Amino acid sequence: MTKPNNVLIFILTIGVFGIINTEMGVIGILPSIADHFHVSISKAGLLVSLFALAVAVSGPTMPLLFSGMNRKKVMLLVLGVFVLGNIVSIFTTNFTLALVARIVPAFFHPIYCSLAFTVAADSVSKEEAPKAVSKVFIGVSAGMVVGVPIVSFIANAVSIEMAMAFFAIVNAIVFLATVVFVPSMPVAEKLSYGAQLSVLKKSITWLSIMAVILLNSAIFGVYSYLTEYLKTVTNMSSNAISLMLLIYGGANIIGNIAAGKLLTKNANKSVVIFPFALGAVYIILFLFGKFTIPMAILTLIWGILAGIGGNINQYWIMSSAPESPDFANGLFLTAVNLGTTIGAAAGGLFISELGTQYVVFVGLLSLLLSSVMIFLRNYKFTPTQQLS
């Protein structure tokens, strides 16, 4: 990979970190936000759930609308919207205004993320594309798992306003780096909306979307309740739980790096094996989740697999519609957000009906169904057809 490509991929990685961190970072400071705006914790939770909903809704449409524009200009537009939204969040004392200042950028979120994956893949040879995309995925993982403790620490050590300012600073740095270091990227061949939407006529696209919704449901249906599991089933202290979440996050980043290599070597085999590997972890988790040491080892392995899973999801949808990369990445973002929502809701149901220990069955059920979708796609389409 040449030096300009490395710089570009690094900027994209930090850019994705800034945008995902704006989405997820508030999770760690929801109680502080509730106090700050004098609202209930469930109302403060709207800052997370409405953001995710906006991303799911705009996932397929917004990248499509902006697909013909110069990619550098589009990136600057999205980063600018995020910086402005972050600044409003710092200074407002009105909760409704704070909500609007988060929801508006949320609609632009899929544009930047889908572009980051497309541009990273385009900056290298076709064979090296999964590795380039896996580097950008480090930003996704870091935004989801490293951003939360950083923001929480700033809010506790300094103030809630400084925690909000962290979002603005990261996005502003990426904005300036994009202005200086990213070359102009006009779209060489503008695809019509019709040509891009035509990928929805293909059964391979729908099989891939279903598989990804189920795979993400398998990961987040269980991970969403990891804190609760460690507290009630493993009986860990709050400090030990924080350490476990950090281990999971670090392992996620290791998984991203490993995924780049696995998907470059033998993508199809990696996708087929994945549900069985994660399923084995969940079965062991169900049997030995009460014990601290096995749980710590399992959290590490689970985190690595979840990191690999994120890359597999992007590859699986992208390889079903390579002729329309921006739209395919938008579909990927919608599918994973739907999977997260369905998985978390199902996990909650299993916990309330059967108890926390049984949340792993949501994962196992989702993995079983995802394997069926993966098998159907492989049965109907040969690997060469899948990438043609």
Can you give the pLDDT of all 388 residues of the chain as single tens digits? 566 688 999 999 999 999 988 888 887 677 788 889 998 877 887 887 788 888 888 988 898 888 888 999 999 999 999 999 999 999 999 999 999 999 999 999 999 998 998 899 888 888 888 888 888 988 888 887 778 778 878 888 888 899 889 999 999 999 999 999 988 888 877 777 787 888 889 999 999 999 999 999 999 888 878 878 888 899 988 778 878 888 888 898 899 889 989 998 889 999 999 999 999 999 999 999 999 999 999 999 999 999 999 999 999 999 998 888 888 888 998 898 888 888 888 888 888 889 889 999 999 999 999 999 999 999 988 655 555 4
Give me the percent of the chain exceeding a pLDDT of 90: 46
Model-wide pTM > 0.85: no
Please write the tens of the pLDDT for every residue from 161-209: 998 899 999 999 999 999 999 888 888 777 777 878 888 899 999 999 9
The dihedral built from the CA positions of residue 85, 86, 87 and 91, taken in this order, carries a sign that is positive
What region, left, alpha or beta, does residue 92 occupy, with left being phi > 0 and alpha being psi -120 to 50 degrees? beta
Nearest to 335 by CA among 60, 129, 27, 45: 60
Residues 6+ positions from 124 with CB-CB distance below 8 Å: 1, 5, 131, 132
pLDDT at site 65? 87
pLDDT at site 383? 59
Give me the percent of the chain exceeding a pLDDT of 70: 97
| Number of other residues whose CB lies within 10 A of the CB of residue 372 | 14
Angle at 242 between CA 134 and CA 164, to 5 degrees: 70
pLDDT at site 2? 62
Q: How far is CA 304 from the centre of its chain?
A: 15
